[in-house]
Amino acid sequence: MLQLSANLNTYLIIAAFLFGIGFYGLINRRTLIGMLISAELILSGASLNFMAFNRFLAPDPVVGQVFTLFIMGIAAAEAAIALSIIIAVYRNYKSIAAEDLNDLKG
């Protein structure tokens, strides 16, 4: 039990759970903000996978850290854009439920 943190498989299992839970939430949520939260979970699962392989297998342990930093930057940009779109949608439709957004020209 105490050697779990020095084992690649532990991190792979945790990352797989994060990815699967995020996918479930992305299908299951009805509101746009809930979908955005689930997408963040999926991105975290991918980053955790990168970091685990970077720590245990990669010849250059800097590459995975740089890649994870760039994933964080892209995720921050994505969250900013998505939230401003959500607020603009809310001003027009008075709702953020995905099934209410059914007009092509709102």
Partner 1 sequence: MNQLLTAQGLAGVVFLTVSAAVVIGALIAVNSKRLIRAVTGLCLCLIGVAGLYYFLNSPFLALMEILIYVGAVGVSIAFAIMLADPRPEKKGNRATGLGAVFGFIGGGFLTWGLIKTGLSTHWQGAAEKVNDGSMLQLGKSLLTTYSMVFELISVVLLIAIIGSLALGRRGRSNGPGKISG
Report the residue number, 27 or 104, with the smaller CB distance to partner 1.
27
Q: How far is the CB of 7 from partner 1 (least distance, A)?
A: 10
Contact, 45 vs 19, CB < 8 A? yes
Contact, 48 vs 37, CB < 8 A? no
3-state secondary structure of 31: strand
Q: How far is the CB of 39 from partner 1 (least distance, A)?
A: 11
Q: How far is the CB of 44 from partner 1 (least distance, A)?
A: 5
Between helices 63-93 and 32-56, what is the axis angle to 10°?
180
Q: How far is CA 94 from the centre of its chain?
A: 26
Q: How far is the CB of 42 from partner 1 (least distance, A)?
A: 10
Closest CA to 66 of 97, 74, 25, 16: 74
